[in-house]
Structure 1
Amino acid sequence: MNSPSLYLHPDRDTCAAELAQVLVGRLRADLQDGGRARLLLAGGQSPVPLLGRLAGEALDWSRVELSPTDERWVAADDVASNLQLLRTALPQAQLLDPRLGATPEEAAQAWGERLAGWLPLTAVLLGMGEDGHIASLFPGMPGIASALTEDASPAALVGVAPVAPQVRLSANLALLRRSGWLGLLVFGGAKRELLEAVLADRPDTRQLPVHALVRQAGSRLQVHWAP
């Protein structure tokens, strides 16, 4: 398979600074001449330094439409909410809450339809767990095969995490790939070992969601790693 571009940074602050400049360049290009930019960002702790860097950039955030790559089925102001993380860091952006229905199934359907209207996205930045999950696409969860299918229609779905809160909302891989720029942010030695196994196409990684991402995105994917 075609290999992604791999960027090895000496520390997380350097990684955040350089990745912020990449994303800002993409956003500015789409904001030229009065346009709009559409961005999906990972949740969790890994993007926190990056969000701080982005917040300091002189962009017209009122024309940047932003949503998480995935969300936990908790209240929008819950500390576990990815949307709350983005709202705190980038309050001037036009935030799209994935909770667009009374049930996870209704919300996933409506959110997926809204995101489909954003395509192609300006940029998507994903994270990766030590189990090889991306967004809320977890190994072995119900529906994971269809969520990773290369020729699937771009959509969102209800995911099931192995830890609480278990109910999640997630964009499928077909939607995540429909962007002008696609990145994966990875920190730590254990995740680097897993990533190198995926890049080597080791047989025991082929059922992992991150393997599907690498295989389908190929050289379009930028991987940014720091210790």
Structure 2
Amino acid sequence: MGSIDFQSYESRAEASAAAAELLAALVRKKLSGSPQAQASLVVSGGSTPGPCFDLLSREPLDWTRVTVMPSDERWVPADHPDSNERLIRSRLLQNRAAGGNVLPLFRAGVEATQAPSLIQADLADTAQPFSAVLLGMGEDGHFASLFPDFEQLPAALEPETQEPCMVVQTASSPHLRISLTLSALLNSGHIVLLIFGAAKREVFETAKQGGSAYPVEALLRHSRKPLTVIWAG
């Protein structure tokens, strides 16, 4: 387990602001390497990161050199209300960030099972390691779309797998999904875990101790780069 920097805030607004500031600093550092430097940012979906996206979108970065991709995606079109790509475009790639680029996981016109090879090819042209990864976590300990009841979860959590993403189907989700694997997410200079509420704090603390069945425990155990946990009640 690498170093974990746990930050606690009085309000969710403060936590969101801290996450946005950290992500902006990480992207800025990557871009400052040279005028040709490219940055890559992986972000989660759901309700938690929206306010962080709003703030991050106002950061004065050269967003034309930044590629943003979702950590996971429901297999729905980009204009669907449940699409993480839609969330990225409507909340993050606005304001100063309007010139940013998206690397989508959903691919129109193909079956979900065909997507991993297409995504892997696109990742070859994307700046790696990722400049930063922003993840959330569910009360069941899942991150991205790596749910406890996913039949192939052990393979998805294998830190040495060469598969960057997997198709996910579980009883707990109404949509077929595609998710980056733990191995792909660990290929990052810095991981930020943004979580809210007492229940998720308890899950995090339990996973950190080890011996749990929570998927997030694998993230904490195998991370070798800085991992910042930002929490508010």
Aligned mates of 2:43, 2:157 — CA distance in 1? 19
Write out aligned runs for 1:143-222 (5 A): 143-201=152-210, 203=211, 205=212, 207-217=213-223, 220-222=226-228
State which of 130, 134, 140 in structure 2 corresponds to 1:125. 134
TM-score, reference length from structure 1? 0.93
Q: Which residue of 1 aligns with 2:113?
A: 105
The structure-2 alpha-carbon separation of the partners of 1:219 and 1:171, relative to structure 1 and needing over 3 Å to count, comes to: closer
Q: Which residue of 1 aligns with 2:82?
A: 80
1:150 aligned partner, one-letter code: P
Q: Any unmatched runs of 5+ in structure 2?
A: none
Write out aligned runs for 1:4-153 (5 A): 4-32=4-32, 33-34=34-35, 35-89=37-91, 90=93, 91-100=98-107, 102-118=110-126, 119-153=128-162
Deviations 1:198-221 (A, max 9, x none): 1122x3x2x321010010015621
Shift of 1:164: 3.8
Q: Any unmatched runs of 5+ in structure 1?
A: none
Shift of 1:92: 2.4
Aligned mates of 1:161, 1:130 — CA distance in 2? 16
Identical positions, percent? 38
Deviations 1:111-149 (A, max 9, x none): 133225432110001110111111011113121111101
3-state SS, counterpart of residue 29 of structure 2: helix
1:123 aligned partner, one-letter code: A
1:121 aligned partner, one-letter code: F
Aligned mates of 1:81, 1:199 — CA distance in 2? 30
Shift of 1:222: 1.1
Tell me, yes or no, if the aligned pair for 1:9 and 1:15 is still in contact at 8 Å.
Answer: yes
Tell me, yes or no, if the aligned pair for 2:2 and 2:226 is still in contact at 8 Å.
Answer: no
